[in-house]
Structure 1
Amino acid sequence: MKIKGVIFDVGQTLSNQLDKDRLVERNKKYYSYVYEEMIQRGFSTTFPSLSSHSNGEFVEDLNVLNLGTRAEKNISTEVLKEYRMSEQTLDILIRYEEAAGTGVTKQNVYDEAISQLDSIYAGTNALDEGVYELWPDTKSTLEELRRRGYILGLASNTAHPVKHEHMLARLGITPLIDHFAVSSYIGVRKPNPEMVRILLTKMGLTANEVIVVGDLLDRDILMGNAAGVRTVWINAIPYSLQQNLKRIREGDAKYMPTAGIVCLAQLIPTIQYLDEGGHRDQIRVGYYFPHLRKKLETGKQGAFVSGPKITYLPVELRAPIENLGKFDVIVHKVTDLLLSESSEDQEAIRGLQDYLSRNPDALLLDPLEGLQYSNNRKAFADKWTEFLFEGIRVRVPELYTQDNAKFPCIVKTETACQVKKSHDMIIVHNPDSLQEALQNFNTQCIIQEWVPHSAIFKVYILGNFFQASPQKIVDAGNSTFSFNSAKMPENLPVNSSDNLNICVIQELNKRLKEITGLGMISYDLGVQSDSGDYVVIDFNYFPGYYTVDNYKDVMDEYILEKYREFKKEA
């Protein structure tokens, strides 16, 4: 049956929390306000022991209880009812009375105390809901879903609903959602499937007409699966990566989603795919992008969305990939991870390598061995052999030492990514400025020939596909000039000519792929002003493909082509 409604999680699904590290500090400040409100409202009459405890003692006691409660909620999938802040506060007050032996019992004061505490927690004077932002594609996705007639619901766990509502309103989410199920108001919390059933009733839909979208496998996905609805896992920046890794390692089907995305821009085409039902002879592709920017790029370009020939699912490398299903192909961008000294990043690389050892019938795109050439500028320059084709010389810039440098020249880091200032470039004109430029970097550098150019292009390659896009031209000038290649100055001119010898480019692309073993690459190509040489200035793995209009289709075809070759050779 066609999907008619979508139930969303909030945190890390529609919004991104930017200050999780300040959560305890913010909560303590608010608990202090709660204490002062209780004193002013005469709580000491009902709870005589309250006045013998300072504001600081109360804040610390409530904070310890709340942190323990949150930890239990995060660890266990059996906590199915909400423990509201009003209830937590009352339990602290009753604890004080029991310790003092005053005879005040929870049963005797519950209704009136909870009513008063709810009133305090409904106040917004001291409210600090934290620093949240919508994902760049949240609002446009919600608006488009509404335009298409989908009924939208929201399922959220929160012990402090007013703070939650305040945050939703400030972000502009509230008017875009038709129906709400907030744990503090309905009593149950995720992963309790009753939350979905409540929303289904409000939405007037059946389980097979709705999907649940969320970031946590043991909350959102488990809840949806238990309620009998289809589930979509959004793996952008999960609220707890450790929770997700734990559930993937367990390998229990109840945590496994129907489909997966890395950003909301992929949701509507994923819904369309689910509406189509199954397809025969698909290949299954897992993909791993460690950085949010790459995930958002991918969604904006409509890529890595399941279709008739390929079904896609984001994976994690620090848990057994096969626990998310059997994959024919794994696509990755782990360039930074290979260079990282982080134990977690090294664990991810080992996880990928171990998976390939256990699954020799799975194709990795692209092979890790080739990344040495995209990660290290000197390694690529040393590997390259210049050639002459149709009268045009194709080469890389000459590398200098400090002793034999010819001016002007350009200084950049030897490592092309991960290290600090890897995109910083400094053009220098004399030995003194060269020495100064080298001191600007705290890592190994290369000194490269400056190639005066009449034109420069970014050449994108995806298998047999390529596209050359004109880029900004940099003039060496007469004095030291620094720039960031990822954020070129706005005032630089762009090529006015796109006159490249296509046959030479095709030969160059062929040799690049043969040398590196990589097929998802780009390079900066300068056309030298005086000689007309084609000079490969910089080389990158798995670029953004921003100017490739049909990127999704080209990527799909590349994966299919490489998989056919792989199976033929097997």
Structure 2
Amino acid sequence: MRVHGEVSDDEAAAAAAGEPVPLSPPPAPAGQQRLVVGYALTKKKVKSFLQPKLLALARKKGIHFVSIDETRPLSEQGPFDIILHKLTSKEWEQVLEDYREEHPEVTVLDPPNAIQHLHNRQSMLQEVADLNLSNGYGEVCTPRQLVIMKDPSSIPDAVAKAGLTLPLVAKPLVVDGTSKSHELSLAYVEASLPSLDPPLVLQEFVNHGGILFKVYIVGETIRVVRRFSLPDVNTYDLGNNDGIFRFPRVSCATNNAEDADVDPCIAELPPTPLLEKLGKELRRRLGLRLFNIDMIREHGRKDRYYVIDINYFPGYGKMPGYEHIFTDFLLSLVQSKYKRLLSGS
């Protein structure tokens, strides 16, 4: 429970936006039940996700966001209807798992053990590969890849043995929420491979016209935005001395390609029925409701797509209309829970 007069993160955001700052949870609008959402997020995620436009709409809908104090027992806080979280420490994951067992009435988004699947790029794409999704709207694949745990000098032999074809995209094996975990390298000369830094994943590079599709999943809702990505390899200066190009995060919002002058064949969004099928299957297989899929279309192949990354609780603040989508999703969770209680299931 909060000390009277203490200002929470959402109240601070409201103050920054010039809005009134309540010192206690606001009453729900007439005819609505108040929904309390506890959140355990990094400061960076709080700033990008709990934007004033989300908080203002949430208050109108009777949704109140409350910051969880990690230094105090979770059982002493709340009560919560829903818990949102994106912290990666083992201690926090255990706290949350214990809380889920003690409070099955609280919806935790999402189970820590399910999220773990996306913290490792070796396991991340396995569900997509096993899915083998192909229908009349297209085919969804994963790039061939290889995991290198240590000894960079062994990489050329390992690549040859696996039959991978250069160029290769090198990505850190572990996804821990830091900017470093999203840094990429493109290796296109065999002699450059020993200069890479394990543990990492090597993926065969697929030419895709320099456009990436970020497919946001919020429960059953799907939204897609275009981002600029790595350009096709034939546009690089292959005279580079060390044979490796290093990139910061390439698909961030600053690389927005929504209104760019791009060849329509490259810019065309993946078919909605294909995305709905993919989203439904991955929700079921991963056991997650908040994630995004990074997808590319093979250049020259209108109907072949590759999933190259999956991220948990991505930057929803960059998704157009996210405040409406997310608040509706939170309300739907509670409505579904009450329907189950009323039906006795």
378, 381, 406: which one aligns with 2:122 = 378
Aligned partner of 1:446 in structure 2 is 201
Distance 2:6 2:331 in 1: 24
Write the letter of the residue equivalent to 1:309. Answer: G
* 2:270 counterpart residue number: 500
SS at 1:427's partner residue? strand
Higher relative contact order (CA 8 A, sep 6+): 2
Q: CA RMSD in A?
A: 3.1
User: How far is 1:366 from its partner?
Assistant: 1.3
- By how many angstroms is 1:530 displaced? 3.0
For 1:537, give the aligned amino acid.
I
Q: 1:456 to 1:434 in 2, by over 3 A?
A: same
Equivalence for 1:513: 283
**Distance change in 2, residues 1:436/1:275 (3 Å):** closer
2:97 to 353, 361, 365: 353
**1:483 counterpart residue number:** 247
Alignment partner for residue 523 of structure 1, among 286, 293, 308? 293
Alignment of 1:281-360 (within 5 A): 281-289=33-41, 291-300=42-51, 302-304=53-55, 305-334=58-87, 336-338=88-90, 346=91, 348-360=92-104
Using the TM superposition, give the Cα deviation of residue 267 of structure 1 relative to its aligned residue in structure 2, in angstroms.
7.3
Amino acid of the residue matched to residue 485 of structure 1? Answer: R
In 1, the alpha carbon distance for the partners of 2:174 and 2:35 equals 35
Equivalent position to 1:396, from 139, 142, 159 = 142
- d(CA) in 2 for partners of 1:324, 1:266: 27
Larger Rg: 1
Q: How does 1:537-556 map to 2 (within 5 A)?
A: 537-556=308-327
Q: How many correspondences in the alignment?
A: 306
1:473 aligns with 2:229: yes
Matches within 5 A, 1:250-265: 261=11, 263=13, 264-265=15-16
Residue in 1 aligned with 2:193? Answer: 434
Measure how far apart 1:558 and its partner are: 1.2
Pairwise CA distance, 1:353: 2.2
AA of the residue aligned to 1:521: F
Q: Is the 8 A contact 1:328 1:362 kept in 2?
A: yes
- Alignment deviations for residues 12-37 of structure 1 (CA, whole Å, 9 cap, x no partner): xxxxxxxxxxxxxxxxxxxxxxxxxx
SS of aligned partner of 1:352: helix
Hey, what's the Cα distance between the residues in 2 that align with 1:282 and 1:428?
53
Residues 399 and 448 of structure 1 are in contact (CA less than 8 Å); yes or no, is this contact kept in structure 2?
yes
Residues 275, 419 of structure 1: CA spacing in aligned structure 2 closer, same or farther, 3 A cutoff?
closer
Q: Which secondary structure state, in structure 1, belongs to the residue aligned with residue 317 of structure 2?
A: coil
> CA offsets per residue over residues 379-408 of structure 1, 9 Å max, x none?
022232221121511011111342332111
1:493-541 Cα offsets, whole Å, 9 max, x none, are 7672234311111111112211211111112110111333111111111
Q: State the 1:415 CA deviation.
A: 1.0
**CA distance 1:535–1:324, change in 2 (3 Å):** same
- How far 1:436 moved relative to its partner? 1.6
Specify the code of the residue in structure 2 equivalent to 1:296. Answer: K
User: Equivalent residue of 1:416, what SS?
Assistant: coil
Contact 2:85 2:109 in 1 (8 A): yes
Q: Distance in 1 between matches of 2:177 and 2:315?
A: 17
Shift of residue 410, structure 1, vs aligned partner:
0.8
Task: Note if contact 2:227-2:253 (Cα within 8 Å) is conserved in structure 1.
Answer: no
The residue identity in structure 2 corresponding to 1:530 is G
Instruction: Give the partner amino acid of 2:138.
Output: I
Whether the 8 Å CA contact 2:127–2:285 is kept in 1: the answer is: yes
Q: Give yes or no for contact 1:261–1:313 (8 Å, CA) kept in 2.
A: no
Matched with 2:180 is 421
Contact 2:35 2:62 (8 Å CA) reproduced: yes
- Cα distance in 2 for partners of 1:483, 1:359 equals 44
Query: Partners in 1 of 2:173 and 2:335 — Cα distance?
Result: 36
Q: Please state how far the C-alpha of 1:564 moved relative to its aligned partner.
A: 3.2
The 5 Å alignment of 1:84-483 reads 221=3, 225=4, 231-235=5-9, 261=11, 263=13, 264-265=15-16, 268=19, 271=22, 280-289=32-41, 291-300=42-51, 302-304=53-55, 305-334=58-87, 336-338=88-90, 346=91, 348-384=92-128, 385=130, 386-400=132-146, 401-403=158-160, 404-418=163-177, 421-437=180-196, 441=197, 443-454=198-209, 455-475=211-231, 476=233, 477=236, 478=238, 479-483=243-247
Alpha-carbon shift at residue 308 of structure 1 (Å): 3.5
Q: CA deviation at 1:447?
A: 0.9
CA offset digits 1:74-118 (Å, max 9, x no partner): xxxxxxxxxxxxxxxxxxxxxxxxxxxxxxxxxxxxxxxxxxxxx
Question: Which ranges in structure 2 are unaligned for 5 or more consecutive residues?
Answer: 147-157
In the alignment, the residues of structure 2 paired with residue 534 and residue 333 of structure 1 have an alpha-carbon distance, to the nearest angstrom, of 29
- 3-state DSSP class of the match of 1:355? helix
Residue 522 to residue 275, structure 1, CA distance change in 2 (3 Å): closer
CA distance in 2, matches of 1:517, 1:418: 20
CA gap 1:275/1:349 in 2 versus in 1, 3 angstroms = closer
- Take 1:490 and 1:267, find their aligned partners in 2: how far apart are those partners? 27
Q: Which residue of 1 aligns with 2:149?
A: none
Once the two structures are TM-superposed, the CA of residue 266 in structure 1 deviates from its matched residue by 6.9
- CA drift of 1:417 comes to 2.2
CA contact (8 A) 2:212 2:295 kept: yes
The superposition leaves residues 324-347 of structure 1 with CA deviations (integer Å, 9 ceiling, x where unpaired) of 33112111112x324xxxxxxx2x
SS in 2 for 1:546: helix
**TM-score normalised by length of structure 2:** 0.77
Query: Alignment partner of 2:93: what SS?
Result: helix
Distance (Å, rounded) in 1 between the aligned partners of 2:102 and 2:250: 38
